[in-house]
């Protein structure tokens, strides 16, 4: 996984720079997401791994599938990936692209788990507090996880803020050992 | 079921009262791969070098490789239950082990957990295993001796408090025996001992513990054991663990002696960890930082001055210097001291005690090669009387070595050469000493005096040890006042000199051996 990120990073950086230049980050983001979904299809990955399918046929196939969702530059990028035998990196490239985009636009994706569903007001308050602590705009995904018993668990990238009853109980268990 | 002392309800109540209820913020990552105790973790962007990381199942690891997208971690302990996808938490702490007086008399593993079945260790203090050695200002030069209790070493290769003296030799040359004798001889001197066993058989470690108990030396000793069956990571950190336990005493103005048995195996363990972490191999497949591995460890053995001790104890201990003396052990292969790790450690330490297998096999035990062994700083720390009397011994042996080849033509040699050879033979014989029988300064002084003043010249070579034993017995029973006087002061005056001379003369005239 880490090696994949190393390989994908130059592609993602190049795509992001180009997207910034042409001011098309949003469309690039969409088409990269679409292409990643396509690649996750099992039939497609079988085709990619099949040595009998040559590069021309593969790029023709990919362009055929994606034609409605991609523009000319996306097409060139796809061809380049096929040419370099790096098609399977696309999901990683898409992920890194999103990371670059998020950093550039100054927001951070946050996953929030709560024991009970939050009211709209509570959600707003919570967003404001989180934005203050993290120092960035946030894009919040809220999910309900009953196993937390109570409280919230926030996951922003690598950082985890554990304010759940479950976490505290575990903490206490360790302290008493 | 037995009740654990930590289960007393008052204690639990107090713990709950003081329990910190704030939300806990930390960084998390996921395990990507597990190979032979090395785990790659994705995420953990804020992990520090050497930081302790928490795995599920109360397992801890140490971050060693910080890469762009992943962190290379060694697991401390068993890693069978760790699987791909497990979450890993940062703790924000460098690995710490318990330290303190309570550890004396105990056998612990590389993480400071007791393994002697004597229950929990009653100490609250901990110290990080990696610490930077004391600076230049904090240090004081070595000027007090550590008596190892072995004639050949204390007379010719003296060790001072705060010195690093390497014990080097092939397998089966008595390296550990010297170390154990050194520990036994510290009984009643106030020097605390730490014996770090790295990559040894469990049976050997059990043997050492039993021998120390038999000689009443466990009371002032801590044993840190990372046996051959434990993971390479634990064998790699064990010396640092022991060192932190020793520094506890040093920093409180006391004296401590630490033995690393042996650093070759630690270098092997570190090589294994490094290769599995895919660090590039260098000479003998060791990683590039194997010199630093040992230099940073041995640099922590030092003598610190009274001002530093006062600073470290917050003024509680005044006017006392602290020291940590290190006796690292290195095992050579076929007497090759020019291999990578032996040359490194020789260059780091303040001298070496070189043991040879042919000396050992010809019955000279301890098998110290007096020509190749040196002590670069110990001379300043030697007791006056041993310094005065030991100088002659060293010279006698050096001259003997040059002439030894001619020994078989004894009848054709001139008088003075023959005398030198005979003196050398007797001094070599006198340097032999049984295991587990360390000698006091006074006992050594008497033996050395007898050799220096030519009392041995008229005794047959194979009778020298019998003579010495009888003489020591006589001195102990008839001249105890003189002996305790020497032990107390360590000075060499005309009065003491004539005292020993008359005692030996009386002994020769009145006793047989």
* Residue B68 to residue A161, Cβ atoms within 8 A: no
Q: For residue A167, give the nearest of B24, B40, B45 by CB distance.
A: B24
H or E element at residue B442 = helix B441-452
In chain B, what are the helix, strand and coil shares in percent, each to the nearest 5?
45, 20, 35
What pLDDT is recorded for position A62? 86
What pLDDT is recorded for position B4? 63
Contact B472, B443 (CB under 8 A): yes
Lookup: tokens for B436: 């587990």
Contact B109, B224 (CB under 8 A): yes
Q: Does B137 touch chain A (CB under 8 A)?
A: no
Does residue B29 carry a pLDDT above 60? yes
CA closest to A151 among chain B residues = B23
CA closest to A168 among chain B residues = B21
Catalytic-labelled residue, pool B202, B279, B376, B501: B376
Give catalytic status of residue B252 as yes or no. Answer: no
What pLDDT is recorded for position B134? 96
- Judge residue A43's burial from the number of C-beta atoms within 10 Å of its C-beta, 0-12 exposed, 13-18 middle, 19 or more buried: exposed
Neighbours of B228 (CB within 10 A): 15
- When pLDDT is cut at 50, 70 and 90, the band that residue B297 belongs to is very high
- When pLDDT is cut at 50, 70 and 90, the band that residue B15 belongs to is confident
Name the CA radius of gyration of chain A, rounded.
21
Summarised one tens digit per residue, pLDDT across range B312-331 is 999 999 999 999 999 999 99
**Distance separating alpha carbons of residues B187 and B220, to the nearest angstrom:** 7
CA angle A128, A130, A132 (to 5 degrees): 70
Q: Does B10 touch chain A (CB under 8 A)?
A: no
- Phi, psi (5° rounding) for residue A41? -65, 135
What pLDDT is recorded for position B5? 58
Q: 3-class secondary structure for chain A?
A: CHHHHHHHHHHHHHHHHHHHHHCCHHHHHHHHHHHHHHHHCHHHHHHHHCCCCCHHHHHHHHHHHHHHHCCHHHHHHHHHHHHCCCHHHHHHHHHHHHHHHHHHHCEEEEEEEECCCCCHHHHHHHHHHHHHHHCCEEEEEEEECHHHCCEEEEEECCEEEEEEHHHHHHHHHHHHC
The conformational region for residue B139 under phi > 0 = left, psi -120 to 50 = alpha, else beta, is: beta
What pLDDT is recorded for position B409? 79
Contact B57, B31 (CB under 8 A): no
Does residue B1 carry a pLDDT above 70? no
Over residues B358-381, mean pLDDT:
93
What pLDDT is recorded for position B326? 97
- CB contact burial B407-424 (16+ within 10 A = b; e otherwise): eeeeeeeeeebbebbbbb
Q: For residue B69, give the nearest of A6, A171, A176 by CB distance.
A: A6
CA closest to A5 among chain B residues = B69
**Distance separating alpha carbons of residues A120 and B18, to the nearest angstrom:** 35
Three-class secondary structure of residue B143 per DSSP: coil
Query: To which residue do tokens 């060139």 refer?
Result: A76
Over residues B287-294, mean pLDDT:
96
**Distance separating alpha carbons of residues A81 and A93, to the nearest angstrom:** 11
Name the CA radius of gyration of chain B, rounded.
26
**Distance separating alpha carbons of residues A177 and A172, to the nearest angstrom:** 9
What pLDDT is recorded for position B2? 59
CA distances from residue B130 to A56, B235, B247 in whole angstroms, order as listed: 58, 15, 11
Pick A158 or B125 by higher pLDDT. Answer: B125
Secondary structure letter of residue B48 according to DSSP: P
Chain A residues whose CB is inside 8 A of the B24 CB are 161-163, 167-168, 171
Pick B18 or B79 by higher pLDDT. Answer: B79
Contact A36, A91 (CB under 8 A): yes
CA closest to B70 among chain A residues = A2
Lookup: tokens for B509: 């005239």
- Judge residue A121's burial from the number of C-beta atoms within 10 Å of its C-beta, 0-12 exposed, 13-18 middle, 19 or more buried: exposed
Interface probe, candidates B13, B14, B24, chain A, greatest A C-beta count within 10 A: B24
What pLDDT is recorded for position A140? 86
Secondary structure letter of residue B368 according to DSSP: B
* Residue B24 to residue A161, Cβ atoms within 8 A: yes
**Distance separating alpha carbons of residues B355 and B171, to the nearest angstrom:** 10
Summarised one tens digit per residue, pLDDT across range B150-199 is 999 999 999 999 999 999 999 999 999 999 999 999 999 999 999 999 99
Q: Does B481 touch chain A (CB under 8 A)?
A: no
| Closest CA–CA distance from residue B301 to any residue of chain A (Å) | 34
CA closest to B23 among chain A residues = A163
Low-confidence ranges of chain A (pLDDT < 50): none
Query: To which residue do tokens 């076929």 refer?
Result: B334
What pLDDT is recorded for position B271? 97
CA distances from residue A51 to A47, A89, B11 in whole angstroms, order as listed: 8, 18, 68
Chain A residues whose CB is inside 8 A of the B27 CB are 158-160
Those of residues 6-45 in A touching chain B at CB distance below 8 A are 6
CA closest to A174 among chain B residues = B58
Nearest Cα to B296, choosing from B432, B439, B444, B130? B130
| Closest CA–CA distance from residue B312 to any residue of chain A (Å) | 29
The conformational region for residue B154 under phi > 0 = left, psi -120 to 50 = alpha, else beta, is: alpha
Look over chain B and give the mean of its residue pLDDT values, rounded to a whole number: 93
* Residue B28 to residue A171, Cβ atoms within 8 A: no
Pick B237 or B12 by higher pLDDT. Answer: B237
B105, B110, B114, B116: CA torsion to nearest 10: -70
Chain A residues whose CB is inside 8 A of the B42 CB are 1-2
CB pairs under 8 A between A and B: 59
Does residue B421 carry a pLDDT above 70? yes
Over residues B288-298, mean pLDDT:
96
* Residue A157 to residue B45, Cβ atoms within 8 A: yes
CA distances from residue A118 to A141, A147, A164, B25 in whole angstroms, order as listed: 12, 16, 14, 21
What pLDDT is recorded for position B7? 64
Interhelix angle for B464-478 vs B480-489, to 10°? 90
What pLDDT is recorded for position B105? 96
Beta strands in B254-410 (DSSP E): 255-261, 303-304, 322-331, 351-355, 374-375
| Closest CA–CA distance from residue A65 to any residue of chain B (Å) | 32
Chain B residues whose CB is inside 8 A of the A165 CB are none
Those of residues 184-243 in B touching chain A at CB distance below 8 A are none
Q: Does A155 touch chain B (CB under 8 A)?
A: yes
CA angle A138, A144, A147 (to 5 degrees): 125
* Residue B68 to residue A155, Cβ atoms within 8 A: no
| Closest CA–CA distance from residue A66 to any residue of chain B (Å) | 30
Give the pairing of strands B107-108 and B221-226: parallel
Interface probe, candidates A12, A158, A164, A172, chain B, greatest B C-beta count within 10 A: A158
What pLDDT is recorded for position B469? 94
**Distance separating alpha carbons of residues B424 and B371, to the nearest angstrom:** 13
| Closest CA–CA distance from residue A102 to any residue of chain B (Å) | 17
**Distance separating alpha carbons of residues B513 and B473, to the nearest angstrom:** 11
Q: Does B42 touch chain A (CB under 8 A)?
A: yes
What pLDDT is recorded for position A2? 59
């Amino acid at each position: 996984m880490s090696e994949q990120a190393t390989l994908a990073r130059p592609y993602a950086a190049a795509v992001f720079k180009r997207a910034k230049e042409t001011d098309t980050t949003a469309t690039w983001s969409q088409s990269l997401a679409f292409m990643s979904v396509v690649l996750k299809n099992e039939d497609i990955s079988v085709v990619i791994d099949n040595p009998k399918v040559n590069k021309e046929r593969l790029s023709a196939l990919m362009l055929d599938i994606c034609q409605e969702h991609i523009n000319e530059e996306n097409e060139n990028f796809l061809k380049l990936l096929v040419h370099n035998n790096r098609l399977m990196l696309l999901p990683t490239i898409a992920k890194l692209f999103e990371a670059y985009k998020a950093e550039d636009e100054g927001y951070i994706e946050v996953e929030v788990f709560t024991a009970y569903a939050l009211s709209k007001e509570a959600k707003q308050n919570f967003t404001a507090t989180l934005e203050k602590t993290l120092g960035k705009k946030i894009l919040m995904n809220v999910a309900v996880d009953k196993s937390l018993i109570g409280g919230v668990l926030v996951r922003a990238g690598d950082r985890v803020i554990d304010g759940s009853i479950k976490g505290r109980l575990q903490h206490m268990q360790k302290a008493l050992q | 079921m037995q009740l654990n002392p930590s289960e007393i309800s008052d204690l639990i109540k107090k713990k709950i009262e003081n329990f910190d209820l704030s939300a806990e913020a930390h960084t998390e990552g996921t395990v990507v791969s597990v190979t032979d105790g090395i785990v790659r973790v994705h995420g953990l962007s804020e992990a520090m070098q050497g930081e302790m990381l928490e795995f599920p199942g109360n397992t801890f690891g140490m971050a060693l490789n910080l890469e762009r997208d992943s962190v290379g971690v060694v697991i401390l302990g068993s890693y069978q239950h760790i699987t791909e996808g497990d979450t890993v938490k940062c703790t924000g702490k460098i690995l710490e082990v318990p330290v303190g007086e309570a550890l004396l008399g105990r056998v612990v593993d590389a993480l400071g957990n007791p393994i002697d079945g004597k229950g929990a260790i009653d100490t609250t203090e901990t110290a990080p295993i990696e610490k930077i050695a004391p600076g230049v200002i904090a240090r004081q030069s070595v000027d007090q001796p550590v008596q190892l209790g072995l004639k050949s070493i204390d007379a010719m290769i003296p060790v001072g408090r705060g010195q690093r003296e390497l014990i080097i030799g092939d397998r089966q040359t008595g390296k550990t025996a010297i170390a154990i004798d050194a520990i036994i001889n510290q009984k009643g001197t106030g020097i605390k001992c730490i014996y770090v066993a790295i990559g040894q058989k469990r049976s050997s470690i059990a043997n050492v513990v039993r021998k120390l108990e038999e000689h009443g030396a466990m009371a002032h000793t801590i044993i840190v054991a990372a046996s051959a069956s434990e993971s390479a990571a634990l064998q790699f950190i064990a010396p640092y663990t022991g060192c932190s336990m020793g520094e506890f005493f040093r920093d409180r103005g006391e004296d401590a002696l630490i033995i690393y048995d042996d650093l070759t195996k630690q270098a092997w363990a570190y090589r294994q960890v490094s290769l599995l972490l895919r660090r590039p191999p260098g000479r003998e497949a060791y990683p590039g930082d194997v010199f630093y591995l040992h230099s940073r460890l041995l640099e922590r053995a030092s003598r610190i001055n009274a001002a530093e001790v006062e600073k470290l104890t917050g003024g509680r201990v005044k006017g006392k210097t602290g020291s940590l003396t290190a006796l690292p052990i290195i095992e050579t292969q076929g007497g090759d001291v020019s291999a990578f790790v032996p040359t490194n450690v020789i260059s780091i330490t303040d001298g070496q005690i070189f043991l040879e297998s042919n000396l050992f096999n010809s019955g000279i035990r301890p098998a110290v090669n007096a020509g190749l062994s040196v002590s670069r700083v110990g001379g300043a720390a030697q007791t006056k009387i041993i310094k005065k009397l030991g100088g002659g011994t060293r010279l006698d042996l050096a001259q003997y070595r040059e002439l030894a080849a001619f020994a078989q033509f004894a009848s054709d040699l001139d008088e003075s050469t023959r005398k030198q050879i005979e003196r050398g033979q007797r001094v070599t014989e006198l340097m032999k000493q049984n295991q587990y029988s360390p000698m006091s300064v006074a006992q050594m002084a008497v033996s050395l005096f007898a050799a220096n003043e030519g009392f041995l010249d008229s005794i047959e070579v194979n009778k020298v040890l019998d003579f010495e034993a009888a003489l020591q017995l006589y001195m102990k029973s008839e001249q105890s006042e003189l002996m305790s006087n020497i032990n107390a002061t360590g000075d060499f005056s005309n009065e003491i000199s004539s005292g020993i001379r008359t005692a030996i003369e009386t002994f020769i005239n009145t006793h047989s051996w």
